[in-house]
């Protein structure tokens, strides 16, 4: 199944398509680079983002407000 991007419905302010998150920079609350989002998963207990660190390691973070404080698609 394939759709063009313009056929996708607009999402609410706090909802995101996975494709929009992949490639985003991840920063600490002090603006230190933590890496780049490589993938978004859901294994049944909620969304998880996989981040590639500047050192090349992969880590996973829960996609929850306690861990992801702000999302800015414009930045």
Residue pair 36/25 in contact (Cβ under 8 Å)? The answer is yes
CA torsion 44-47-52-53 (nearest 10°) is -120
pTM score: 0.83
Beta-sheet strand order (sheet of 25-27):
25-27, 33-42, 47-52, 58-62
pLDDT digits (tens, 9 = 90+) for 63-73: 998 888 888 88
pLDDT digits (tens, 9 = 90+) for 32-70: 999 999 999 999 888 999 999 999 999 999 999 888 888
CA 9 to chain centre: 19
Query: What is residue 21's three-state secondary structure?
Result: helix
């Amino acid at each position: 199944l394939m759709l063009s991007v313009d056929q996708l419905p607009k999402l609410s302010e706090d909802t995101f398509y996975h494709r929009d998150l992949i490639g985003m920079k991840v920063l600490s609350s002090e603006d230190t680079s933590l890496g780049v989002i490589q993938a978004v998963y859901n294994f049944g207990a909620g969304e998880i983002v996989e981040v590639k660190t500047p050192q090349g390691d992969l880590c996973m973070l829960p996609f929850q407000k306690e861990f992801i404080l702000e999302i800015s698609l414009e930045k």
